[in-house]
Structure 1
């Protein structure tokens, strides 16, 4: 079957805007998260949309309903679990006639604070976590890969973190224990060691990730041109680019 290309060069921005509107029209607060949010903040990485955990089944039922059957249909979740992830348990959908998928993510699974005042809209109107909210979530659970990606995409500084983040105390080991217990319940094993369950000082993690931005550039991105692996010297914040079509 021939599938049409999604909007915005295949990225699917306008279709995902409609997905968020469907949820919001049904009283479900949502925000794009995961890789979707990383791209918005300048990290080059399916669309993930998080909703309150107690509304996941309601959200899935909306997209499975007869009313929405001409626009969306459910597809199998990712068959192989990722280390430290529950992606294989998420409701996954495809936009009809397009090769474009999205996952409904319980917000508790990603330790993200989801509230109306924690969301900002892209120029197309898509809801995303505000930058401090997104970075705080990665820091609290020691997701160092995502943390480095968003730091390099947004080019925030140590001083920015001192002002906008909660750097006191340690990572959330209670959440880690809860997440690892859920992973075991779904897979009968802790794949790849689960999520980090040992406490780390958040201030130390933050200083480490912001002080090594240039080091992550590698030899292919000379320091005379790049200030991070995703940002050229003199470039504006990606989410402020006037001709940006991917978010």
Structure 2
């Protein structure tokens, strides 16, 4: 059973004040601007203090082969890419305190969350941090909000040592949340088979509508008094997990376009015979 939702009936944390940088302009993060070594240092710091963590969101999809992209770090008007760092829901406050400690002050500091609501996400309510003088951002994501079980996390580490959820954990979360776009991206990136899902996923029953209900309550609470014209709610339709899995894994070829001819590609993201991306050494993961 997932941990309780700590967003429901809880006030959104106050926005920190953006501190002026002592660098102008911000320096380029490590690994060609991806910030891999910076986020690795943050994860190691939290783990050393007893807080498990793993990378979710766009970076996790990229790790498993999906063709997502990060922002262009040197174009100021672009919204900066944010690593999404998942921690146990009940330890978010402890993690914030650790990251705000004197030992981390020269390296990172709290900044206001991005004020614009994101589709099917509460990311605009999360604690957000920036590197000191470095174009590097990350947010703290409660495990409940991405439907990942706490205690302990099941981790797959990149060649650099960055912790990610294992592929079954990530794929299961997309099914349980009915996150169709991420599910298809993850299937096409990892190129797993229908049988793989039968072996590694819980396919009986439906998506978690109780989770959806609580997340939509939290989304409405976060929007209260903000004057937003719209709120991005989480999808409330009921789906059979098995039917959703079979439909999406059997339609891999149908998602391929003219730029990914079937003679050369297994999926829209994978060349025929290409190794699993998460087994390879990439500086950006």
| Band of TM-score, shorter chain | over 0.9
Aligned to 2:96: 60
Please say if residues 84 and 191 of structure 1, whose CA atoms lie closer than 8 Å, have aligned partners that are also in contact. Answer: no
Determine whether 1:47 maps to 2:83: yes
Instruction: Report the counterpart of residue 6 of structure 2 in structure 1.
Output: none
Match of 1:92 among 128, 136, 142: 128
Aligned length: 245
Once residues 190 and 254 of structure 2 are traced to their aligned partners in structure 1, the CA distance between those partners, rounded to angstroms, is: 16
Aligned equivalent of 2:167: 131
Of 18, 25, 45, the residue aligned with 1:2 is 25
CA contact (8 A) 1:72 1:95 kept: yes
SS of the residue corresponding to residue 141 of structure 2 reads: strand
Q: CA deviation at 1:66?
A: 2.2
Aligned CA-pair RMSD: 1.4
1:219 to 258, 270, 279: 258
What residue in structure 1 maps to residue 7 of structure 2?
none
Offset of residue 112 of structure 1: 1.0
Deviates most, 41-50 or 117-126 = 117-126
Report if aligned partners of 1:33, 1:49 keep a CA contact under 8 Å in 2.
yes
Partner in structure 2 of residue 155 of structure 1 = 191
Residue in 1 aligned with 2:34? 11
Q: How does 1:71-220 map to 2 (within 5 A)?
A: 71-116=107-152, 118-188=154-224, 191-192=231-232, 194-220=233-259
Aligned to 1:9, what secondary structure does the other structure show?
A: helix
**So what's the TM-score if we normalise by structure 1?**
0.95
Gaps of 5+ in 2: 1-23, 69-81
Per-residue deviation, residues 118-148 of structure 1 (Å, max 9, x unmatched)? 1121111111111000000000110001111
1:21-46 Cα offsets, whole Å, 9 max, x none, are: 11111111111111121111111221
TM-score, length-normalised on structure 2? 0.83
Of Structure 1 and Structure 2, the greater helix share is in 1
Distance in 2 of aligned mates of 1:220 and 1:44? 13
Give 5+ residue unaligned stretches, structure 1: none
Large movers: runs of 4+ above 4 Å: none
- 1:20 partnered with 2:43: yes
